[in-house]
Amino acid sequence: MKKFILLCVSILFLATIASGCSSGSTDSSEKEKVKQENKALKSKQKELEETNKKLKEKVENSEKHSNNNEKSSQNDTQEKTYKPGTTDRIPVELAGTVDGDTAKFIYNGSQQSFRFLLIDTPETKHPRLGKQPFGQEASDRTKELLTNANKIEVEFDVGGQTDKYQRYLAYIYVDGKMLNEILVREGLAKVAYVYPPNTRYLDQLESAQEKAKEEKLGIWSLGSAFEDNQASTQQPTTEQPSSSNTQSSNGAGSATTQTPNNTSQNAGSEYYPNCTALRKVYPNGVPSTHPAYNAKLDRDKDNFACEAN
């Protein structure tokens, strides 16, 4: 009986030991599994961190490249702004219109006045000339074209970029078309203020003017309207010159210098019928002490005839 009891106790003892070993083995296996899972998670987390780092670097490089391109573009625009003698067209924004041949644009970050090169429109509120025929039509047309344009650009010529009033002198483009030429072609402006070397599109504008004349458009439709408009810049050639006309040239072009028998006492010894003829010999105009000075060509009565406007 004792032996049987001892045998049972031994069997129970061995069973307990076996159960403990089995449980220990299971716990060890689970711990190893958890350990492997944690290791895999850490590896995955590290991969994600590396990916995020690369994405961040890519975004930063992209922004840096974009900023560099923007700065480069701004530098290019600034270079174009100050680059004389090219055909570069510089984008501007409309700030307002003044009359038919003058407008204000946002240029170089500030509002600036621009006078349209090589043309003149009838006056609308001149202190001496008052309101001229087709002056309002020219002003309205300029406002219409500039206001409705999707893109406005300015182009400088090879000479001086500003006049004595500190207005910029330029060719103006509305959606790729030259506004100066549109006004001339429609008979709302005439070719004027021709000061070499700012004559890049003189032939083009004169051709447009001839067509407007032929079709009697705008200022060319009525002789009186045209003559009134001309009076501010040109002396009507109604006087008969004497037979002793002389020719003179200074290399910038030639013009006939006339000495009429009945010249005005305000005219010098050299006679020019208008500013266009005078400027071919004296591109910058002449003071009152000059032999070619004529008070009738001094439109603003500042003792300087046919100066840049």
Q: Provide φ and ψ at 82, rounded to 5°.
A: -105, 10
List the chain pLDDT tens, one digit each, 309 residues: 656 666 666 677 666 665 555 555 556 778 788 888 888 888 888 888 888 888 888 888 777 766 666 555 554 544 444 455 567 999 999 999 999 999 999 999 999 999 999 999 999 887 777 788 999 999 999 999 999 999 999 999 999 999 999 999 999 999 999 999 999 999 999 999 999 999 999 999 999 999 999 999 999 998 754 444 444 443 333 333 333 333 333 333 333 333 333 334 445 567 888 888 888 888 888 888 888 888 888 877 778 888 865
Rounded distance between C-alpha atoms, residue 157 and residue 145, angstroms: 22
Q: Provide φ and ψ at 152, rounded to 5°.
A: -120, 135
Catalytic hit among 89, 123, 155, 270: 123
pLDDT value of residue 71: 54
Q: 185 catalytic, yes or no? A: no
Rounded distance between C-alpha atoms, residue 278 and residue 291, angstroms: 11
SS3 at position 66: helix
- Measured CA distances, 86 to 46, 166, 168, 216 (Å): 58, 21, 16, 34
Q: 167 catalytic, yes or no? A: yes
Catalytic hit among 89, 141, 167, 185: 167
Q: 200 catalytic, yes or no? A: no
Q: Which two tokens stand for residue 107?
A: 């240029």
Q: Are strands 177-178 and 110-116 parallel, antiparallel or unpaired?
A: unpaired
pLDDT value of residue 308: 67
Q: Which two tokens stand for residue 99?
A: 């009359």
Class of domain 90-230: mainly beta
Rounded distance between C-alpha atoms, residue 216 and residue 222, angstroms: 8
Which regions of the chain carry the CATH code 2.40.50.90?
A: 90-230
Q: Which two tokens stand for residue 231?
A: 């009076």
Nearest CA to 237 among 255, 213, 222?
255
Nearest CA to 96 among 166, 164, 136, 152?
152
Rounded distance between C-alpha atoms, residue 59 and residue 290, angstroms: 69
Length of the chain: 309
According to DSSP, the residues that pair with 256 across neighbouring strands are: 247
The end-to-end CA distance of the chain, in Å, is 139
